[in-house]
Structure formats: C-alpha cells, structure tokens
Structure 1
Amino acid sequence: MARKASTRRRPRSGSSYRRVKKRSCYFCDSKISYVDYKDITLLRRYISDARAKIRGRRSTGNCQRHQNAVARAVKNAREMALLPYTNQ
C-alpha cells in the first residue's frame, strides 16, 4: 500500500519566510519600576479601542511582571473612574 503525502506544513526556508520579531517590554527598556494608575495616556496604550479590554502580553510585548502591573493599574484607574469599563 502506498504512503499518503504528509499534510503537515513545514516552515519555509529562505528569504520568503518571514519570522515575527518579539516586541520588547516598554517598561524594562525605559527602566520604569512603577506603573502609575493616574498616568492615563500610558495606560490607554494597553486597552483595546473597541471594548476597552486589557490587551494581552503577545500584543503589547510586556514581560510578565510589568503586564501584571499594567493590569492592576488599569483596574485601579477604572475604579477611580479615570478609564472606562466599556466603550460605546
């Protein structure tokens, strides 16, 4: 019996294959140790436009420690009515 051809995709080699570069953490690069919940212009970068949800680490490029700090700061800012829970 003949073998079937593999349907598994293999990564392309050469110049046509584009590898996605991992974004570096903004807070580590800027040497910011504390994420302030009152800094609304900084926190707006980390929430989505459509539903005002906190964006994930893959899209923001933050490390785990700073992503947790951003999430805490966004939640505090929402409690203080500085950021919206949802957008209209």
Structure 2
Amino acid sequence: MREEKKDKGWKKSNLNYKRKKCPFESGVMKIDYKDPRTLQKFISERGKIMPCRISMVSSRKQRALALAVKRARYLALLPYVSD
C-alpha cells in the first residue's frame, strides 16, 4: 500500500517572517567609495563582494555598491584579495 505524501506547503511560522530591509534605504548609511569601513561590511573574508540575497541590499543599491567597491580597490583603499 502507498503512504500518503505529506503536505510540503508553507508553515504558519514562515508566514510571519519579515525580510530585512536594505540598510541604504533608511538613509543612515550612504554608499561612498571613499568610506572603506562601510564597504568592508559588504565584502566577504576572501575579499569578494557579497551577493544581495545575503547582504539584504536592494538590486539597485547592490549595483552602486559594487561600483563603489571597485573604485575603492582601484584607488587602493580596499585590497583586491584579503590575506
């Protein structure tokens, strides 16, 4: 005989989940290539730019963030690879 498959739908605990908001949307933080401390928060231990699904940055701000990180690397404010 066959066993009935369990329902793999959403659970109630997942319905109350709120996604984190973009830290740049509130206006507290600004994207600036001259501020390596802010940019360092969005770079992994290996020196890679974190994806927006992990850093919770909106896609528009993620593109601006990537551009700022690349500019800061070019000006030697940030390393290309972490040691």
- Does TM, normalized by the shorter one, top 0.5? yes
Deviating beyond 6 angstroms after TM superposition, the runs of 4 or more aligned structure 1 residues are none
Equivalence for 2:80: 85
**Unpaired runs of at least 5, structure 2:** none
Instruction: Tell me how far apart the structure 2 counterparts of residues 76 and 12 of structure 1 sit (CA, whole Å).
Output: 44
The question of whether the paired residues in 2 share the 8 Å contact of 1:23 and 1:60 is answered with no
State how many pairs are aligned.
Answer: 82
User: Displacement of 1:31 after TM fit?
Assistant: 6.2
Match of 2:56 among 57, 61, 64: 61
User: Displacement of 1:20 after TM fit?
Assistant: 4.6
**Unpaired runs of at least 5, structure 1:** none
**What TM-score does the superposition give when structure 1 sets the normalisation length?**
0.75
The question of whether the paired residues in 2 share the 8 Å contact of 1:25 and 1:63 is answered with yes
Match of 1:27 among 9, 24, 27: 24
Equivalence for 1:37: 33
SS at match of 1:53: coil
